[in-house]
């Protein structure tokens, strides 16, 4: 497992700490940070806000954020918020 992979292990607000951790890793990251959404069924407003913050921070630091295993429901939320162009997606 690459060091710059962050696993989101719970739904909704529970994903926020992991997202904050990912933001913290942006400083030391080279190239990309991977967020693994495989265990995430849905996100809540705070997680969504954290994802927006992460995107802005990553862009500022020139780091590519890869979202892995995002399900369709969460992808649709990102799409509605027009956040999806700011990330790369992997299955």
Partner 1 sequence: MTENAPCLGEDRIGYLEGLVNQARAAAAVFTQYTQEDVDRIVKPMVTAGMEQAQHLARLAIEETRLGVMEDKAIKNMVATEFVYHYVKDKRTVGQIREFPDRNLVEVAEPIGVLFSLTPITNPTATVLFKCIMAIKTRNAVIFSPHPKAWRCCSEAVRIMYEAAVKHGAPEGVFTCLESPTLPDNAYLMHHKYVGLIDATGGPGVVKAAYSSGKPALGVGAGNTPVYLEKTADLDMAVVDILTSKTFDNGTICASEQTVVIDDEIYDAVLKKFADLDAHICDAQEAELLGRAVIDPETGFARPMAIGQKATTIAGAIGLSVKPNTRLLIAPIQGVGREHPLSVEKLFPLLAVYRARSVDEALKVCVDVNHAGGIGHTAVVFSRNDEVIRKFAEAINAGRIIVNSPGSVGAMGGVYNDMVPTFSFGCGTGGGNSTTDNVNVYHYLNIKRVARRTQAHMWFRIPNQIYFNRNAVENIARFPSRSTIVVTSPVLEQIGHVDIVRRHIPPQTHVHVLVIPDAEPEVRVVMQGLEDLRFYKVDQIIALGGGSVIDAAKIMRLKYECPEADLEELGAPFLDIRKRVAEYPTEKTSQARLIAVSTTSGTGSEVTPIAVLMDKERGRKVTLADYSLSPDVAIVDPQFVMSMPKGLTADTGIDCLTHALEAGVSVYASPYTDSHAMQAIRMVFKYLPIAYEHPGDEEARSMMHNAACIAALAFSNASVGVNHALAHAFGARFGVAHGRANALMLPHVIAYNASVPTKFMPSPHQRAYVAHKKYAMVADLLGLGGNTIAEKVDRLVAATEQLLDRLAIPRSIAELGIPQEEFARAVPELAGIAFDDPSWRPTNPRMPLVSELADLLWAAYRGRRQANPDAPSQPPTAKDGLAYADEYSLARK
Is 16 a binder of partner 1 (CB under 8 A)?
A: no
Q: How far apart are CA 87 and CA 24, in angstroms?
A: 17
4 Cα distance to chain centroid:
12
Contact residue for partner 1 among 14, 44, 64, 84 (CB under 8 A)? 44
Contact residue for partner 1 among 3, 9, 38, 42 (CB under 8 A)? 42
Cα distances from 48 to residues 3, 18, 55, 79, in angstroms, run: 24, 12, 11, 12
Is 66 a binder of partner 1 (CB under 8 A)?
A: no
Contact residue for partner 1 among 73, 88, 89, 90 (CB under 8 A)? 73
Q: List contacts with partner 1 (CB under 8 A).
A: 41-46, 48-49, 73-74, 76-77, 80-81
């Amino acid at each position: 497992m690459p060091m710059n992979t962050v696993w989101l292990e719970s739904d909704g607000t529970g994903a926020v700490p992991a997202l904050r951790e990912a933001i913290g890793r942006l400083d030391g990251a080279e190239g990309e940070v991977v967020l693994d959404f495989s265990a995430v069924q849905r996100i809540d407003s705070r997680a969504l806000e954290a994802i927006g913050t992460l995107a802005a921070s990553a862009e500022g630091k020139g780091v590519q954020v890869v979202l892995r295993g995002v399900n369709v429901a969460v992808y649709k939320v990102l799409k509605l918020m027009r956040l999806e162009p700011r990330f790369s997606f992997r299955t």
